[in-house]
C-alpha cells in the first residue's frame, strides 16, 4: 500500500510543458518537476530569463528543454508543440503558467495601473492577451495530441482575484497604519482574465471529459517576492494564515493535479490562498 501511494504521485519521465516556465512561478515548477524525475519543457518569450533558467538547470545537472516562443503567436506555438511531439511522441501534462504580472506591468513604463475611468483600451487588450489568450492558444495546440492518446492533464494558473475582488484598500495610503500606499494595483483586466481562466477550465473539463483529458486550475493568493513591507502587512491582515505564500508552496498542488493522484479530479479550481477567499 505504501509503494502504491507513492507511485500515484509519481511524475517520473512524464513530459510536462510549462508556459511562462522561466518566470517567477514557472521556473519553480520546472525545477521541482525535474527534481522528481519529470521532463519539463519550458516555453517562454523572455530570452534573458529563459537563458538564466537553462544555465541553472545545467549547473544542477537537471533535465529540461527550453523554447523561446511568442505564446500569443499561434503559428509559432504550433511549431514549438510539433517539435516537442516529434522528439518525445507525447505530452503528458500542460501547465499554463504564462501571465502578465504586476512586476512586468511596472517595468513597461506605461500606466497599467490607471484608474478604471481613464483606462486605456490597448492596455486592457494587452493584459487580456498576455493572461488569457496565450492559455487558449497553447491549450488548443497541445490538446489535439492529448486527444489522440486519450490521455492528459492540463493545469491552468488562475488567481484568488479571479474568485473575489481584490481589496483596493491594500494599495491606498492609510494614515492609521502609517502606510503610504504603493504605485501599483490589480487592474480589472487581470481579474477578468483570471476569472476567464477558471471558466475556461470548467468548460474544457466537461468538453473533454470523455476524451481522457482532465483540466483543472490552481488559484493562488499573493506570492511573496520582496514586496513593500507595509504592503505585505496590509495584505497579510486579510489572510487567515497571516502571511503571503512562499514561492514553493504551490508545488504540491501542481504535482497532485499533474499526477494520477488526481485521476478522478477535473474542472476543479484548487485554491491555495492561506484562507483569503473564505473571509
Q: What is the DSSP string of 251-275?
A: HHHHHHHHSGGGTT--S-EEEESTT
Compute the distance between CA of residue 86 and CA of residue 232 in angstroms, rounded to an integer: 46
Helices assigned H by DSSP within the chain: 2-8, 24-35, 47-60, 74-88, 102-107, 121-128, 134-149, 188-207, 229-236, 251-258
Q: Using one digit for the tens of pLDDT, what is the confidence trace for 188-227?
A: 999 999 999 999 999 999 999 999 999 999 999 999 998 9
Compute the distance between CA of residue 140 and CA of residue 74 in angstroms, rounded to an integer: 9
Number of residues that this document lists for the chain:
279
pLDDT class of 187 with cuts at 50, 70, 90: very high
pLDDT class of 265 with cuts at 50, 70, 90: very high
CA–CA distances in Å: residue 243 to residues 26, 64, 66, 157 = 21, 32, 33, 20
Q: Is the pLDDT of residue 27 over 60?
A: yes
Q: Which pLDDT score is estimated for 109?
A: 61
- Residue 36 grid cell: 522528481
Mean pLDDT of 109-138: 91
* Among candidate residues 171, 53, 33, the one with its CA nearest the CA of residue 113: 171
CA-based torsion, 83, 28, 25, 90: positive or negative: positive
Long-range contacts from 116-125, C-beta under 8 angstroms, 24+ separation: 116/188, 119/187, 119/188, 123/187, 123/189, 124/187, 124/188, 124/189
- Residue 5 grid cell: 501511494
Higher pLDDT, 109 or 268: 268
Q: Using one digit for the tens of pLDDT, what is the confidence trace for 13-24?
A: 999 999 999 999
**In percent, how much of the chain has pLDDT > 70?**
97
Q: Is the pLDDT of residue 106 over 90?
A: no
Compute the distance between CA of residue 88 and CA of residue 19 in angstroms, rounded to an integer: 17
Mean pLDDT of 25-48: 97
pLDDT class of 112 with cuts at 50, 70, 90: confident
- CATH (domain of 262): 3.40.50.720
Mean pLDDT of 240-262: 97
* Total domain count, the chain: 1
Instruction: State the residue range of the domain holding 39.
Output: 2-278
Higher pLDDT, 276 or 110: 276
Contact between 213 and 144 (Cβ < 8 Å): no
Q: Is the pLDDT of residue 103 over 80?
A: no
Lowest mean pLDDT among 35-39, 51-55, 111-115: 111-115
Other Cβ atoms closer than 10 A to 241: 12
Mean pLDDT of 107-136: 89
∠ Cα 271 24 240 (to 5°): 35
Q: Is the pLDDT of residue 3 over 60?
A: no
Amino acid at each position: 500500500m505504501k509503494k502504491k501511494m507513492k507511485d500515484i504521485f509519481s511524475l517520473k519521465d512524464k513530459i510536462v510543458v510549462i508556459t511562462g516556465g522561466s518566470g517567477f512561478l514557472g521556473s519553480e515548477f520546472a525545477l521541482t518537476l525535474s527534481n522528481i524525475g519529470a521532463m519539463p519543457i519550458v516555453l517562454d518569450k523572455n530570452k534573458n530569463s529563459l537563458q538564466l533558467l537553462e544555465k541553472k538547470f545545467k549547473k544542477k545537472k537537471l533535465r529540461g528543454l527550453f523554447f523561446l516562443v511568442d505564446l500569443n503567436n499561434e503559428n509559432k506555438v504550433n511549431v514549438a508543440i510539433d517539435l516537442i511531439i516529434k522528439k518525445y511522441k507525447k505530452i503528458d501534462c500542460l501547465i499554463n503558467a504564462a501571465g502578465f504580472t504586476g512586476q512586468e506591468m511596472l517595468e513597461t513604463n506605461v500606466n497599467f495601473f490607471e484608474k478604471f475611468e481613464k483606462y486605456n483600451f490597448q492596455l486592457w487588450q494587452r493584459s487580456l492577451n498576455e493572461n488569457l489568450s496565450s492559455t487558449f492558444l497553447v491549450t488548443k495546440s497541445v490538446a489535439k495530441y492529448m486527444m489522440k492518446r486519450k490521455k492528459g492533464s492540463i493545469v491552468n494558473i488562475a488567481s484568488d482575484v479571479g474568485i473575489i475582488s481584490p481589496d483596493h484598500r491594500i494599495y491606498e495610503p492609510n494614515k492609521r497604519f502609517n502606510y503610504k500606499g504603493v504605485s501599483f494595483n490589480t487592474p480589472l483586466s487581470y481579474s477578468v482574465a483570471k476569472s476567464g481562466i477558471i471558466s475556461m477550465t470548467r468548460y474544457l473539463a466537461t468538453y473533454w471529459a470523455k476524451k481522457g483529458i482532465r483540466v483543472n486550475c490552481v488559484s493562488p493568493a499573493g506570492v511573496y517576492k520582496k514586496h513593500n513591507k507595509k504592503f505585505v502587512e496590509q495584505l497579510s491582515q486579510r489572510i487567515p494564515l497571516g502571511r503571503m505564500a512562499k514561492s514553493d508552496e504551490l508545488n504540491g498542488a501542481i504535482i497532485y493535479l499533474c499526477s494520477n493522484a488526481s485521476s478522478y479530479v477535473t474542472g476543479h479550481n484548487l485554491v491555495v490562498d492561506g484562507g483569503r477567499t473564505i473571509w
